[in-house]
DNA sequence: GATGAATGAGTATTCATTCAT
DNA sequence: TATGAATGAATACTCATTCAT
């Protein structure tokens, strides 16, 4: 009824909360949200089932936290790259770097990305959080590029579309779905595409 | 145990099977796979719960059938467009047409697309079927373009990537997520990107 | 979600529903509502846990049904008694009979009465149903008495109060709580009080 | 395991124990015993959950203490009234006064009365305590009345029955259940009933 | 004495699947 | 073929109670 969620301040507590998120991250990633149950999360985290509800309102709340962790982990390398950018921009090199980073991250987090993304279709709050995060990143990149003198028309749109492309290709690349596709060649095509978006 | 799945030959049976698939299509689309139960499917299809298992091995089996229906519905308009293509290709016009079709289809089938796509991450067979279908379509388009004299290097890769772009943008466009994005402008950017892929 | 509750029409089904109600009746009576779980009800009824929810929305819904059964069982003997009443009324004899019936019934249903009554304080719907039933009975008795020429002022109030007294005493009598009380003597006092209410 | 219950001797401790009982009293009264959890009690009492088990064996033990408080609170006004009684007794006036007091008390403690009373059916110890307290009060009143020269036959039985009536009517009156009942008229009937019990 | 984090058994309810008719 | 009643395993979540600090 009036169950309150602990906001852990002490180190031990934070550690425990992190363990639970980590367990959730792994399990959602391995088998998906629906195939994961709270007992498994607790067990892998090395805690009791009860305490999970001391830190999280419900199972979905864990997903939300996992989402935050994921997004930070997934986007910060690219943002770091942008941060260190100086004029004049070497677009081909940048495209190469961005794609390399994106693929690397996707490789480490591929499954969770899909699990989270899929949830965003059945869960409005997950969706909202995803959008919020994408927005923040797009605008941050736009600010950086503008400060470097990039003045392409519809800059936001180009960045957003570029992000879509990178995302989409990284996914393709990692999962290596299609046997008749030469992914190295495709990668070059994507890179030149990205360059042509901003040059 | 060794329940055999009927391969319906009689018209009445085929009709009934179709009703079940249709009900599944609608419900998965409306509320997603996990929020749909077999009783609901049976009810909407106007059949008993028992008979569902006369036509389908299990709930997932319905999903697989729904997937086939979806893909046919989703890709055939674009394939028709390609079929009617004659040389010389007016790339800008073609890009416009393809995007228009894709958006229209996505608008009518947006939810089921997401429902199915999300399942492909937790279900290898769904994933395999998705890939198989994408492959067939890519190769079909490639054949058509080749027959019209298109000889861009890495044609398969370009087509596949073009499909990714179209898919990705259609989704964005329909869901109209981001308030700061001018989708009309973004649409033009996508169109010009598509053109630059083949010209 | 859209789980529908079967309204059993076939004999077999009605029998099964009755078994569940009977099991609920017994268990609520024996150990109370909160100490009874659905698995126990199902087990005693000889059915699966699942089917319980085919006939009842939830555990409380079983209680509501038990309540109906109980009230019918508890009040109909007294109502029968009233039905057979002819003028002129022999009040002392009637009081004796009513009390005898009430005590007998209470003896057979004592625990369930308490279990149900106690629920009426934490459950508005149970309470409402109790009131509704009491009302119906009071008014039915009032009609009968009026038709026999009884014209005491505030007849409804007298009947209702009489019911309270009878209820209260039956409970005392059955549980035989207090060692210093001569219940036979008390019974006579109650009887004369009832008589004085209407004479 | 062999946790010993502190019998608080120090003032601070007694205060803390009282706070817990008060919180229990309020919560049991507001939402009932089963809907109250120990965390809520501790929170409202301003103590930790752990220390509750320093003062009480278990949750039920709190209920027992609450019961004592309640009975004292509920009966002492009527006992005070009896104490101040002098011969010759004005029965109509006394009946009026007793009923007024009883209704007032019931109005302030209605919910807890029900909560406790309902527990007495599923808990033998609660029941025993209830009986013990009723006994003490009945006998005390009987002594007082005897000392004032009342010598009705079966005095204990009359007093006990009078208490039942008062209790029963107070409950009815407070909850004002039945729309077709004129409670003012009913009140007068009850008063005259009480008078006729002793005159 | 006191804290409040931690435990884990307990429970109502759902639902894919089966099976008697 | 068809029905829909029946099954029972599975699961999110609660809460009285304990215990390390």
The whole-angstrom distance between A1's CA and the closest CA on chain D is 9
Closest C-alpha among A82, A57, A64 to residue A24? A64
Q: How far away is chain D from the Cα of A51, in angstroms, using its nearest Cα?
A: 15
- How many Cβ atoms sit within 10 Å of the Cβ of residue B116? 25
Contact indicator for D29, D115 with CB cutoff of 8 Å: yes
**CATH classification at residue D24:** 1.10.10.60
In this prediction, residues D157-174 reach a mean pLDDT of 92
- Which nucleotide is closest to the Cα of D53 by its C1'? F17
Q: Tell me the whole-structure pTM to 2 decimals.
A: 0.88
What is the pLDDT, as a whole number, of residue D8?
66
Is A30 in CB contact (< 8 Å) with chain B?
A: no
- Give the number of other Cβ atoms within 10 Å of residue D13's Cβ: 15
Q: Distance (Å, rounded) from C-alpha D72 to C-alpha C20?
A: 43
Q: Could you tell me the CATH number of the domain that includes residue D120?
A: 1.10.357.10
Residues D91, D170, single domain; the answer is: yes
Report how far residue C83's alpha carbon sits from residue C98's, in angstroms, rounded to the nearest whole number. Answer: 12
> How many Cα atoms within 13 Å fall on the side-chain side of residue B121?
25
Span C38-56, average pLDDT: 97
DSSP designation for B4: P
Kindly state whether B14 is in contact with chain C, defined as any CB-CB distance less than 8 angstroms.
no
Q: Are C109 and C70 in contact (CB under 8 A)?
A: yes
**What are the tens digits of pLDDT across the range D60-85?**
999 999 998 998 888 899 999 999 99
Mean pLDDT of the D121-143 span? 86
Collapsing DSSP to helix, strand or coil, C97 comes out as helix
Q: Do A154 and B34 touch (CB under 8 A)?
A: no
DSSP letter, residue D149: T
DSSP B89-125: P-HHHHHHHHHHHHHHHHHHHHHHHHHHHHHTTT-HH
Higher-confidence residue of C3 and B123: namely B123
A86 contacts chain D (CB < 8 A): no
Q: Is the Cβ atom of A13 within 7 Å of strand E at any atom?
A: yes
Instruction: Please count the CA atoms within 13 angstroms of the CA of D70 that sit on its side-chain side.
Output: 28
Q: Which of residues 36-65 of D touch strand E (CB under 7 A)?
A: 47-51, 54
Nearest C-alpha neighbor of D121 from the set C175, C180, C26, C61 = C175
Structural domain count, chain D: 2
Both A44 and A66 in a single domain? no
Cβ neighbours of D182 in C, within 8 Å: 154, 156-157
Residue C78 DSSP label: H
Q: Tell me the nt nearest to B39, Cα to C1'.
A: E15
pLDDT at D177: 77
Least confident of C75-79, D86-90, D176-180: D176-180
Distance CA A17, CA A124 (A): 24
Instruction: For residue A74, name the pLDDT band (cuts at 50, 70, 90).
Output: confident
Per-run averaged pLDDT (10 residues), chain B, 199 residues = 61 90 95 94 97 97 93 88 91 96 89 82 82 87 93 93 93 85 96 93
- Of all residues in chain D, the one with the smallest CA distance to C198 is D189
pLDDT recorded at residue C9:
66
pLDDT on residue D9: 67
Query: Which other chains touch chain C, taking contact as 3+ CB pairs less than 8 Å apart?
Result: B, D
Residue B59: the pLDDT is 97
Tell me if B178 sits within 8 A of A160, measured CB to CB: yes
Residue ending a domain, among C57, C85, C100, is C57
CA-to-C1' distance for D117 and E15, Å?
Answer: 40
User: Measured between alpha carbons, how far is D199 from D197 in angstroms, rounded to an integer?
Assistant: 6
Whether chain B has a CB inside 8 Å of the CB on A37: the answer is: no
Q: Which of A10-14, A106-110, B179-183, D96-100 has the highest mean pLDDT?
A: D96-100
Is A119 a residue whose pLDDT tops 80?
Answer: yes
> Are B110 and B177 contained in the same domain?
yes
Q: Is the CB of D11 under 7 A from strand E?
A: no
Could you write out the three-class secondary structure of D8-65? Answer: CCCHHHHHHHHHHHHHHHHHHHHHCCCCCCHHHHHHHHCCCHHHHHHHCCCHHHHHHH
Answer yes or no: do A42 and A75 share one domain: no
- Quote the CA–CA distance of B167 and B99 in Å, as a whole number: 9
Using DSSP's 3-state secondary structure scheme, residue B38 falls into helix
Same domain, A113 and A167: yes
Report percent pLDDT > 90 for chain A.
Answer: 62
Strand E contacted by A153 CB (< 7 A): no
Same domain as C193, residue C144: yes
Q: How many Å from the N-terminal Cα to the C-terminal Cα in chain A? A: 58
How far, in Å, CA of B103 to CA of B106, rounded?
5
Shared-domain flag, residues A38 and A130:
no
Long-range pairs for D104-108: beta carbons < 8 A, 24 or more residues apart: D104/D77, D105/D73, D105/D74, D105/D77, D105/D78, D105/D170, D106/D74, D106/D170, D106/D171, D106/D173, D106/D174, D107/D174
* Chain C contact present for B40, CB below 8 A: yes
Domain's final residue, options C13, C41, C57: C57
Q: Which residue of C has its CA nearest to B39?
A: C3
Percent of chain C with pLDDT over 90: 62
**pLDDT attached to residue A2:** 45
Check CB contact under 8 Å for B35 and C1: yes
Does position D2 have pLDDT exceeding 50, yes or no? no
Closest residue (CA) to C1' of nucleotide E11 is C37
- Are A48 and A103 in a shared domain? no
Cβ–Cβ of A2/D35 closer than 8 Å?
A: no
Question: Model confidence at A1, in pLDDT bands (50, 70, 90)?
Answer: very low
In the 26-85 segment of chain B, residues within 7 Å (Cβ) of strand E are: 35-39, 49-50, 52-53, 58-60
Summary mean pLDDT of chain D: 90
Q: Is the pLDDT of residue C1 over 70?
A: no
pLDDT band at C169 (very low <50, low <70, confident <90, very high): very high
Shared-domain flag, residues C116 and C37: no
Beta carbons of A20 and A55 less than 8 angstroms apart: yes
Q: What is the DSSP letter of D6?
A: P
- Rg of chain B's alpha carbons, rounded to an integer? 19
B66 with B52, same domain: the answer is no
Range of the structural domain that residue B131 is part of? 61-198
Contact B155, A155 (CB under 8 A): no
Confidence of residue A65 (pLDDT cuts 50, 70, 90): very high
What pLDDT, on a 0 to 100 scale, did the predictor assign at position B72?
A: 85
Q: How many CB atoms lie within 10 A of CB B14?
A: 13
Q: Which residues are within 8 A (CB) of A139 and not within 5 positions of it... i.e. 6 or more apart?
A: A156, B180
**Confidence band, pLDDT 50/70/90 cuts, at residue C196:** very high
Q: How far apart are CA D94 and CA B98, in angstroms?
A: 95
Computed over every residue of chain C, the mean pLDDT equals 90
Lowest mean pLDDT: which of A11-15, A195-199, D148-152? A11-15
Q: Which residues 81 to 120 of D reach strand E, CB within 7 A?
A: none
* Residue B1: predicted pLDDT: 41
Q: Distance (Å, rounded) from C-alpha A65 to C-alpha D156?
A: 68
Q: Which residues of D touch C110 (CB under 8 A)?
A: none
Dihedral sign, CA of D143, D144, D148, D152?
Answer: negative
Q: Give the pLDDT confidence score for residue C98 in this predicted structure.
A: 96
Q: Where are the beta strands (DSSP E) in B52-199?
A: none
pLDDT tens across C50-81, in order?
999 999 999 999 999 999 899 888 889 999 99
For D116, counting Cβ atoms within 10 Å of its Cβ (0-12 exposed, 13-18 middle, 19+ buried), the class is buried
The answer on D41 and D132 residing in a single domain is no
159-188 of C, contacting D, C-beta below 8 A: 160-161, 164-165, 167-169, 172, 177-182, 185-186
Final residue in a domain of this structure, among D57, D79, D98: D57
The separation, in Å, between residue D135 CA and nucleotide E2 C1' comes to 39
Q: For residue A174, with 0-12 CB atoms within 10 Å meaning exposed, 13-18 middle and 19 or more buried, which class applies?
A: buried
A110-114, B68-72, C31-35: range with lowest mean pLDDT = A110-114
Q: What pLDDT does D1 receive?
A: 42
Longest dimension (CA), chain A: 59
The predicted pLDDT at position A7 comes to 75
What does the mean pLDDT of chain A come to?
90
Lowest mean pLDDT among B89-93, C126-130, D156-160: C126-130
If asked whether residues B116 and B142 sit together in one domain, one would say: yes
Q: Is the dihedral of CA D157, D153, D189, C101 positive or negative?
A: positive
């Amino acid at each position: 009824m009036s169950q309150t969620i602990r906001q852990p301040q002490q180190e031990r507590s934070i550690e425990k909360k992190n363990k639970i998120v980590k367990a959730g991250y792994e399990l959602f990633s391995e088998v998906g949200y629906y195939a994961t149950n709270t007992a498994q999360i607790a067990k892998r985290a090395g805690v009791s089932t009860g305490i999970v509800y001391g830190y999280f309102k419900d199972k979905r709340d864990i997903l939300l936290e996992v989402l935050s962790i994921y997004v930070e982990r997934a986007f910060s390398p690219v943002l770091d790259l942008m941060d260190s950018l100086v004029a004049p921009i070497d677009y081909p090199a940048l495209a190469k770097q961005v794609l390399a980073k994106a693929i690397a991250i996707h490789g480490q987090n591929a499954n969770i990305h899909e699990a989270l993304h899929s949830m965003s279709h059945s869960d409005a709050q997950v969706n909202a959080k995803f959008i919020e995060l994408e927005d923040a990143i797009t605008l941050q990149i736009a600010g950086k590029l503008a400060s470097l003198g990039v003045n392409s028309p519809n800059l936001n749109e180009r960045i957003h579309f570029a992000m879509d492309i990178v995302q989409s290709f990284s996914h393709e690349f990692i999962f290596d779905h299609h046997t008749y596709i030469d992914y190295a060649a495709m990668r070059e095509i994507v890179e030149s595409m990205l360059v042509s978006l901003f040059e």
